[in-house]
Amino acid sequence: MAASVQGGRIGNLPAEANAFVGRQLELAEIAGLLGTERLVTLTGPGGVGKSRLALRAAHAAKAGLPGGAWLVELSELRDPDLLTNTVAQATRLTEQTLQPLLQAVCEHLAGAPVLLVLDTCEHVLDECARVVQELLANVPELRVLATSRQPLGVPGEHLLTVAPLPLGERDDAVSLFTARAAAAVPSFALTDANRADVAAVCARLDGIPLALELAAVRLRGFPLHRLLEGLDSRFDLLVSPARPRLARHQTLRTAIGWSHELCTPLERLLWARLSVFAGGWDVEAAEFVCHGGPLDAEEILALLASLTEKSIVTRDGDGAAVRYRMLDTVRSFGAEWLAGLGEVEAVRRRHRDYFRWIARQGEAEWLGPGQRMWAERLTAERANLRLAIEECLAAPEPETALELTGSLWFFWFACGFTEEGRGYLERALRRAPDGSGPEHTLAVWAHRLVTVVPEDLDAAESVSAAYVWLADERQLPVPALPLTGASLAVRGESARSAVLYGRVGQAPAADGGAEFFQLLTLALQAYLLASQAAFERCAAVAERLRTECAKRGELWMRGWGDFFVSLAGIGLGHSDEALLSAREALTAKWRVHDRLGAAAVADLLVAAQAARGEEELAARLLGISRRLWHAAGLPQLGRPDRTVFHREYERRLRASLGDARFAEVVREGWELGPDAAIALALGGVSDVSGP
């Protein structure tokens, strides 16, 4: 018997209470899937909008379904044995029968294409899986659209993860908040004056539709800026006064708490402990930081998989690059539980100590074939490193902060974070102004090292003395590095720098523990020679640097070797060779996330292409160069605008293209996205991954 028409329409879909906002890509994908798949399950965390999206998709599909579109709301169901009865009632099966009820439902739905929407399946998951499998086997015309915080696990199930709404001043999250705010407070409108605050509210709430709707209603009693300030206690602030809302959606706390109730005790404990991470984590980090008590390290991977299935944790990447993360709202819920357990201090200490160990490992392995891996790993862990540093700075022993910030010298110096590193090092050193010992010495040296790049180069003149202390602490038989001369060269005092430097051809001493200093000395030699226009000797030293780096499988310093070979080539008029070396340098710099180095290399590409007669390409690369310097947030190393070739090529480009065309093409380069810009700079290569 076919499903009947009720009240002049087929199905039981409720009218939508307000306008549906955004999700056009998801709706199109669901429509396509329902045309080819028999079971589609929308998964995602609580409050992300699975139910509303499924309802909108069902309304869009019902015109093509002679058997109707039927909504089965399961959130209030507590007894799984009543699931089939709930489906029967929702689809208006009213006839009395002696046959098994599920068989009667199958016959009731058969005869025409029909859609069954099972909303909120996670708490009766096993019974849902059994019933759906039976329905699909016996009703060939049936399509099922389910919503659940974890998959049903039925053969043939197609999963579609519903993410939070896109963030940004003109994206769906802002549109939804604005629409609901205007409904709650008719005078509210999005303006240039409040756009940034609205975007900030949406970002603080992770773009979660439920949170945005609850926040919008609070504008009846709070001005926007007060609402933004109050989001620090979001679970208390975001309470719905509306009676019709489902119980699990009355407050943000109960929406997230619904997921918490579905977890086992060990899953809840892991959720709470994971809340100490910022920005994400990998399995190793979770095992180290979150083990203890009833939670063994060996259990954590399986528990992470379970939390991922339940949409509490999100998994990104594959293989060794797999990382996990939580929405900030979900993390905040876990943090409250961690505080209730009285474990905050202990778990934060383990988090701090884990990243101290990671920093030491990265320092030990930086000069070698694992360099790119370490650059990517520490860049991914940047938020956790910040958190660990803050924890160290708050510790009573200043040595922990000195050690961590100093051990990360290679990250600050080589991966484009010199300004940030300098700030942390200064804070750590202020806590121990009269300090001594290896941690203090390392931090002093690291601080002096990162000052080679920013504008206050006077501080770099004391780095040689700092290195004497460091060499003594670490028993490194390497003479003091001539960074005093280098700092003068950076400021254009190349003649004086040559006198202070001494014999530029002198080879540095070599020692296993001093490899970085050996390579850096060669790079400084090349820098000083280039600043004096001694291009042939510069190329010879740079080739030695490249050879030494190749022996170690080292990328970052090898990129500087390529840089100076290219610079010497430009100086000698060998533009084709200079172009090839500059592209090799950019590839290396981009792969290890060295934004400063990439910007410096881009300047060489401008000069090389201009010298080859590629005026428009050179001008476009100039725009890319300016954008890279802007992204690096640092002054241009060595002030390339002061060099003869830089001024000459820019003058030539303006003369050749005309001021208007020159400005237009430079702007085009500036507006390119990072990937497109690097691909253009590399001559169309698009497989170089970077920051």
Query: What pLDDT shows up at residue 601?
Result: 87
Write down the pTM of the prediction: 0.68
Cα angle 570, 576, 581; round to 5 = 75
CA distance 132 to 578: 65
Q: What amino acid is encoded at 500 in this protein?
A: L
- The pLDDT score that the predictor gives to residue 503 is 37
Cβ-based neighbours of 55, under 8 Å, separated by 6 or more: 13, 14, 16, 71, 117, 119
Residue 599 above 70 pLDDT? Answer: yes
Q: How far is CA 60 from CA 30, 31, 42, 381, in A?
A: 10, 8, 16, 43
Q: pLDDT tens for residues 331-381?
A: 888 888 899 999 999 999 999 999 999 998 898 888 888 888 898 899 889
pLDDT at 519 over 60: yes
Contact 545, 522 (CB under 8 A): yes
- Model confidence at 567, in pLDDT bands (50, 70, 90)? confident
Neighbours of 659 (CB within 10 A): 9
Among 17-21, 252-256, 492-496, top mean pLDDT goes to: 17-21
For the beta carbon of residue 603, count every other beta carbon within 10 angstroms.
27
**What span, in angstroms and rounded, lies between the C-alpha atoms of 303 and 139?**
36
Answer yes or no: is pLDDT of 663 > 50: yes
* φ and ψ of 142, to 5 deg: -85, 140
SS3 157: strand
Token reading at 509 = 């001493």
Q: How many CB atoms lie within 10 A of CB 383?
A: 12
d(CA 322, CA 319): 6
In angstroms, the CA 127 to CA 105 distance is 15
Cα–Cα distance measured from residue 287 to residue 301, given in angstroms and rounded to the nearest whole number = 8
Residue 379 CA to residue 385 CA, distance in Å, equals 9
CA distances from 402 to 180, 350, 417 (A): 49, 18, 17
Residues in the chain: 691
pLDDT at 471: 47
Mean pLDDT of 201-205: 83
Write out the E strands in 55-210. 69-73, 114-119, 142-148, 157-161
Q: Which of 227-236, 417-426, 544-553, 568-577 has the lowest mean pLDDT?
A: 227-236
- How far is Cα 21 from Cα 354, in angstroms, rounded to an integer? 43
Distances (CA, A) of 615 to 314, 609, 618, 675: 47, 7, 5, 22
User: Hey, what are 91's tokens?
Assistant: 């689809």
Beta pairing class for 323-325 and 314-316? antiparallel
Residue 430 burial (C-beta neighbours within 10 Å; 0-12, 13-18, 19+): exposed
Nearest partner of 22 among 213, 194, 159, judged by Cα: 213
| pLDDT-derived band at 647, boundaries 50, 70, 90 | low
Which of 10-19, 54-63, 223-232, 547-556 has the least mean pLDDT?
Answer: 223-232
Q: Return d(Cα 279, Cα 207) in angstroms, integer.
A: 16
Instruction: Report CA-CA distances (Å) from 403 to 288, 366, 385, 388, 439.
Output: 20, 17, 13, 12, 5
Q: Over 90: is that where the pLDDT of 493 sits?
A: no
Please indicate whether residue 243 or residue 432 has the higher confidence score (pLDDT).
432
Q: Cα(17)–Cα(183) distance, rounded to whole angstroms?
A: 12
The whole-number pLDDT of residue 252 equals 64
Query: Given this model, what pLDDT does residue 231 score?
Result: 67
Task: Show the DSSP H helices in 140-219 as ranges.
Answer: 172-184, 195-204, 209-217
**Separation of alpha carbons 191 and 182, rounded Å:** 12
Cα–Cα dist 644/50, whole Å: 61
Whether residue 390 is predicted with pLDDT greater than 50 in this model: the reply is: yes
Task: Take residue 484 and report the two structure tokens written for it.
Answer: 């005093």
Q: Residue 233 has what pLDDT?
A: 59
Evaluate the CA torsion angle 323, 329, 334, 336 in order and state its sign. Answer: positive
Centre a 10 Å sphere on the Cβ of residue 66 and count the other Cβ atoms it contains. Answer: 15
In degrees and rounded to multiples of 5, residue 238 shows phi and psi of -90, 80
